[in-house]
Amino acid sequence: MKQLSLFLFFVSYTLTSQTSLPTGTSNWKPFFTLEPNEGTDFIYDTTALVAGGGVPVIGITSSNDVLLSYSGSGQPGSFFVRNNGTIYDQRGIAPAHGPDGSFIYLPDGKIRFLGETPSAGSTQQRHKSHIESWISTDGLAWTKESGIRYQPGTIDDSISSVASLAQVKDSVWRMYYVGDFYRTNGARTAISSDWGWTWIGESSGNILRRGDVDPQPVYLTVGGVRLYHRTGFNTPGSAKSGVAFTDSRDGLHFDTLTTKLIIADTVGDGMMKLDPSVIRFSDGSVFCYIGSAPGMNQPAQPKLTIARAKKVVNVRRTASETPAKFTLEQNYPNPFNPSTVISYQIPLNPPLQRGIYVRLKIYDLLGHEVTTLVNKEQSAGSKELHWNASGVSSGMYFYKLEAGSFSQTKKMLLLR
């Protein structure tokens, strides 16, 4: 028990960047890392990328090609996605790994795929599945690895949905999966400390709300994880059901009160939006591939579709584009651990059209100054900075912006 406690303490760290890898290894992580304000608003395209397709899976090859595979009611297949998501080069063959799952990028340059496989005795009323694995040197050709990678315990003895993976620290990876739809009906986690070869159950129950399924994680530049998922599995076709996301400071504990629905079932084709898979291309475009499925008694054919995020453009403003007034934005994320972003706007300072002296300070709940983030003259424009609170205890804090006669204070919550 003591060894298990120490292990769980170790893996509770906030997700960090991957260590340096050998030449020729996939540079995968930038494809799955977003700024906090990216990937929050999407435009849904009802045009089918693949008719009868579904369950999109995105992998990055050793040559840094984006490979999109899919399964569904039709024949499984795959595309090379080129030119920032504007060209889809059909490979004409099904992926040589399982039909759904996710990837672990190993330090020797190889890639491991973990996917769900039905167990003996599985029925529609009682799903029984487990996780198996495949290995590849290039992300294209795959060899089945022996043995079962993960089988949940007796309380939740099944996996019913795509297993998605996120790196916690070096060899430590977290698996997000969905338990038996007819029992747990929610997302759970397992943890591995040996690059995905062996796993143990981690979460004691659902990490999202009941009915929030198909989890797919991306990393945030300020630390932590954003989990895209389907919300409202039990209410298909509802304006409150569809693809949503929830952020977490440690990738395990999610504030479900902040869940944001981004693509409702009622949008576009009115079909169920399932299995979101999000990627960020090098030009800043963020795409969400979705398996759209017909609801009950709906004659429509399932399809693989795309939602494109509205681009967030951060530019330096010219004099004619400067803000009209002082503004202090709410920090993001909030609550946070250990880093957060604070943004503010400075208008022109007439009559000299020059900068103005700015102070931005952090205070604790008793009004004691914790740190000074800005204490200098700044020119007009939009400003953004990060505060890393690694050496500060949990609790409520205040940040105060002062510039000339302007003064504004906002509060933020640090949770560990």
172 inside domain:
yes
Boundary (domain end) residue, out of 309, 343, 378: 309
Provide the pLDDT for residue 200.
93
Each residue's pLDDT tens digit, 39-96: 999 999 989 999 888 889 999 999 999 999 998 777 889 999 999 999 999 887 888 9
Are 202 and 257 within one domain? yes
Residue 400 has pLDDT above 70, yes or no: yes
Domains identified in the chain, total number:
2
8 inside domain:
no
2 inside domain:
no
345, 358 in Cβ contact below 8 A? Answer: no
13 inside domain:
no
Provide the pLDDT for residue 157.
54
Structure tokens at 263: 């693509």
Are 57 and 172 within one domain? yes
Boundary (domain end) residue, out of 277, 309, 341: 309
3 inside domain:
no
314 inside domain:
no
Between the two ends of the chain, the Cα-to-Cα distance in Å is: 23
53, 39 in Cβ contact below 8 A? Answer: no
Are 257 and 355 within one domain? no
Residue 256 — φ and ψ, nearest 5°?
Answer: -70, -10
CATH of the domain at 366: 2.60.40.1930
Are 202 and 244 within one domain? yes
Burial string for 287-314 (b: 16+ CB within 10 Å, else e) reads bbbbbbbbeeeeeebbbbbbbebeeeee
> What DSSP element (H or E) covers 227?
strand 225-231
Are 52 and 186 within one domain? yes
Are 410 and 297 within one domain? no
Domain range holding 329?
321-414
Are 286 and 381 within one domain? no
Q: Which of 162-176, 230-244, 300-314 is predicted with the least confidence, judged by mean pLDDT?
A: 300-314
What is the spatial distance between Cα 277 and Cα 318, in angstroms, rounded to a whole number?
A: 37
Are 304 and 325 within one domain? no
Structure tokens at 316: 């330096």
12 inside domain:
no
Long-range contacts at 365-374 (CB < 8 A, ≥ 24 apart): 365/395, 365/396, 365/397, 365/398, 370/397, 373/342, 373/399
What is the spatial distance between Cα 298 and Cα 291, in angstroms, rounded to a whole number?
A: 15
Are 256 and 332 within one domain? no
Are 352 and 259 within one domain? no
CA dihedral 155, 158, 162, 164 (to 10 degrees): 40
Provide the pLDDT for residue 205.
85
Are 183 and 325 within one domain? no
Residue 10 has pLDDT above 70, yes or no: no
Beta strands in 281-338 (DSSP E): 286-293, 303-309, 327-328
Provide the pLDDT for residue 323.
76
Residue 17 has pLDDT above 60, yes or no: no
What is the spatial distance between Cα 44 and Cα 305, in angstroms, rounded to a whole number?
A: 8
CATH of the domain at 219: 2.115.10.20
> What DSSP element (H or E) covers 175?
strand 172-178
- Give me the mean pLDDT over the 204-229 stretch: 92
Each residue's pLDDT tens digit, 237-270: 889 999 999 999 899 999 888 899 999 999 988 8
Closest CA to 252 of 195, 184, 314, 168: 168
Boundary (domain end) residue, out of 282, 309, 336: 309
- Residues making up the chain, counted from first to last: 416
Residue 355 has pLDDT above 90, yes or no: no
315 inside domain:
no
Are 92 and 203 within one domain? yes
What is the spatial distance between Cα 322 and Cα 328, in angstroms, rounded to a whole number?
A: 15
